């Protein structure tokens, strides 16, 4: 009887596709380590991770869970000036399994054949700002037509700039765009070499130094206009190691939940300030916005619209040649399961954001 059962089992296995058997064999073999890339800062000789990654590393929950399985956790630091390029190269060379980074670089990676999955949304997004010299008479993007604008091309906030132009009936050709990183852009604005600068929260530093003033921010726009950064996983790893992927996502959700509690707001902003960003800037960045909503991990309409627009823009701007399916990028099942396991299904509410274009 046992021999007959064994024969039947072997026959069934013989009918399975070879690729399926191969994937099952790989899935049964856990890796020796899990490698997660994240933006990191060097401060007083110490490496500080950015955002929820800091909390994940502090809490040690993920490290402990992986240790039970004889797996090590390796954080891979990425410099903020080159995080997109660095992470894409690491994914392409299979040197990392996960990464916290932005939208345009991840779309570029997928269009070039480096397949990744968005396994956990990184909150509601970061604001972006249009800054002009303190003595400028410009009050809107329309006033800057024909002028010089500093913008770091290919970075996530380029999409926000493109949306601002489109909403005002303008195009890149209407301006003299200088491709400068945030540090060089700030210096150019301060020296009067450009008439405007499109950037992140470092805009507040220019106001504090009285060399610039903010005339527009994404706080005035729909939520899908914000710059986004998420937790991405290598598609092969996600498919072959779903249990380990779930651990990483659950650890992220635990960190996001702790951070989203108003009682932990000052402590968390204190962590971020270790990167060198003044606390007053961090406070102004989220002023007037929901603190809990800053860390929502939900796959809501604003997120989907953002990535659909980002793909469309990348094609129009010829940042990519290949096609990218927005539905293929998003992998929500791990967040769904993680929220259920943590009993947080109702902690964050889906945001019925206004997605209509407006300046």
Contact 69, 6 (CB under 8 A): no
pLDDT per residue as tens digits for the range 165-187: 999 999 999 999 999 999 999 99
328 and 184 within one domain: no
User: So what's the pLDDT on residue 359?
Assistant: 38
DSSP 304-330: HHHHHHHHHHHHHTTS--S---HHHHB
pLDDT at 81: 78
Domain housing 42: 33-125+228-341
The residues pairing with 216 across neighbouring beta strands, listed in sequence order, are: 130
Question: Could you give the CA distance from residue 121 to residue 296 in angstroms, rounded to a whole number?
Answer: 7
Q: 9-32 b/e with 16+ CB inside 10 Å = b?
A: eeeeeeeeeeeeeeeeeeeeebee
Instruction: Say whether pLDDT at 8 is over 70.
Output: no
Query: How far is Cα 24 from Cα 292, in angstroms, rounded to an integer?
Result: 39
What mean pLDDT value characterizes the chain? 89
Q: Quick check: is 187 in a domain?
A: yes
The pLDDT of 315-333, averaged and rounded, is 93
Please tell me whether residues 306 and 250 are part of one structural domain: yes
Task: Sort 182 into a burial class: Cβ within 10 Å, 0-12 / 13-18 / 19+.
Answer: buried
Tell me: do 216 and 153 sit in the same domain.
yes
SS3 of residue 76 by DSSP:
strand
Question: Most distant CA pair in the chain: distance in Å?
Answer: 91
Handedness of CA 282, 286, 291, 294 (dihedral sign): negative
What pLDDT, on a 0 to 100 scale, did the predictor assign at position 5? 38
- Give the global pTM: 0.87
Residue 216 domain-assigned (yes or no): yes
What pLDDT, on the 0 to 100 scale, is given for residue 20?
Answer: 44
In contact, 31 and 233? CB cutoff 8 Å = no
DSSP 346: T
350 is a domain residue: no
Mean pLDDT calculated for residue range 104-112 = 95
Task: Out of 192, 225, 258, pick the residue that ends a domain.
Answer: 225
Q: What is the mean pLDDT of residues 220-241?
A: 94
Q: Taking a C-beta distance cutoff of 8 angstroms, is the pair 164, 219 a contact?
A: no
pLDDT at 226 over 60: yes
DSSP state at residue 33: E
Q: Does some domain include residue 105? A: yes
**Number of Cβ within a 10 Å radius of residue 76:** 17
Once rounded to an integer, what is the mean pLDDT over residues 210-219?
96
Q: Hey, is 297 helix, strand or coil?
A: coil
348 in any annotated domain: no
Domain boundary among 191, 225, 259: 225
pLDDT higher than threshold 90 for residue 94? yes
Judged against a pLDDT cut of 70, whether residue 161 lies above it is answered with yes
- Residues 194 and 329 reside in one and the same domain: no
121 lies in the same domain as 185: no
Percentage of residues in the chain having pLDDT higher than 90 = 77
Position 3 in a domain? no
Confidence (pLDDT) at 14? 43
Q: Which of 178, 199, 225 corresponds to the end of one domain?
A: 225
Angstrom distance (rounded) from CA 244 to CA 195: 49
Identify the three-state secondary structure at position 120. strand
Residue 215 shares a structural domain with residue 110: no
CA distances from 182 to 128, 150, 166, 176, 178 (A): 12, 9, 23, 17, 11
Encoded tokens for 117: 């999955």
Average pLDDT over residues 74-93: 93
Do residue 193 and residue 134 come from a single domain?
Answer: yes
Q: Are residues 281 and 134 in the same domain?
A: no
Strands 33-43 and 72-78: parallel
Please identify which residue in the block is written with the tokens 């996001």.
256
241 shares its domain with 182:
no
**Average pLDDT of the residues in 301-327:** 92
Give the three-class secondary structure for 296: coil
pLDDT for 351 equals 64
Pair 97, 236 in one domain: yes
The tens digit of pLDDT for each residue in 34-79 reads 999 999 988 777 788 988 899 999 999 999 999 999 999 999 999 8
186 belongs to a structural domain? yes
Smallest CA-to-CA distance from 218 within 197, 198, 233 is with: 198
pLDDT above 60 for 6: no
Nearest to 110 by CA among 239, 240, 234, 237: 234
Report the CATH number that the domain containing residue 82 is assigned in CATH: 3.40.190.10
The two tokens of residue 206 are: 């220019």
Residue 301 pLDDT greater than 70, yes or no: yes
Residues 322, 190 share a domain: no
Q: How many domains does the chain have?
A: 2
Which residues contact residue 105 at a Cβ distance below 8 angstroms, ignoring those fewer than 6 apart?
Answer: 83, 84, 85, 87, 88, 154, 155, 156
**Considering the domain boundaries, does residue 284 fall inside one?**
yes
Do residues 55 and 160 share a domain? no
Helical residues (DSSP H) of the chain, grouped into ranges: 2-15, 18-27, 52-59, 61-67, 83-92, 103-111, 157-167, 182-190, 203-208, 235-240, 242-260, 265-273, 279-285, 301-316, 326-329, 333-341
């Amino acid at each position: 009887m046992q021999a007959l059962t064994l024969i039947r089992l072997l026959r069934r296995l013989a009918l399975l596709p070879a690729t399926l058997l191969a994937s099952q064999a790989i899935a049964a073999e856990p890796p020796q380590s899990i490698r997660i890339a994240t933006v990191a800062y060097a401060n007083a000789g110490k490496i500080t991770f950015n955002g929820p990654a800091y909390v994940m590393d502090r809490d040690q929950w993920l490290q402990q869970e992986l240790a039970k399985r004889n797996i090590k956790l390796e954080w891979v630091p990425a410099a903020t000036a080159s995080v997109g390029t660095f992470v894409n190269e690491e994914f392409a060379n299979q040197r990392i399994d996960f990464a916290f980074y932005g939208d345009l670089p991840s779309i570029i990676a997928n269009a070039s054949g480096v397949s990744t999955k968005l396994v956990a949304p990184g909150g509601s997004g970061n604001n972006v700002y249009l800054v002009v010299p303190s003595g400028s008479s410009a009050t809107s993007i329309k006033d800057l037509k024909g002028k010089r604008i500093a913008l770091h091309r290919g970075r996530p906030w380029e999409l926000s700039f493109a949306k601002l132009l489109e909403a005002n009936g303008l195009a890149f050709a209407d301006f003299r765009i200088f491709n400068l990183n945030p540090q060089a852009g700030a210096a150019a604005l301060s020296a009067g070499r450009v008439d405007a600068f499109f950037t992140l929260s470092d805009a507040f530093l220019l106001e504090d130094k009285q060399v610039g003033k903010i005339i527009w921010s994404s706080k005035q726009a729909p939520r899908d206009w914000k710059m986004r950064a998420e937790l991405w996983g290598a598609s092969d790893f996600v498919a072959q190691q779903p249990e380990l992927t779930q651990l990483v996502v659950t650890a992220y959700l635990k960190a996001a939940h702790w951070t989203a509690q108003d009682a932990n707001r000052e402590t968390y902003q204190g962590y971020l300030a270790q990167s060198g960003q003044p606390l007053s800037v961090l406070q102004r960045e989220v002023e007037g916005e929901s603190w809990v909503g800053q860390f929502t991990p939900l796959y809501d309409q604003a997120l989907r619209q953002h990535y659909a627009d980002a793909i469309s823009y990348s094609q129009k701007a010829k940042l990519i040649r290949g096609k990218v399916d927005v539905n293929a990028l998003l992998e929500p099942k791990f967040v769904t399961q993680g929220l259920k396991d943590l009993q947080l299904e109702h902690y964050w509410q889906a945001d019925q954001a206004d997605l209509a274009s407006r300046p």
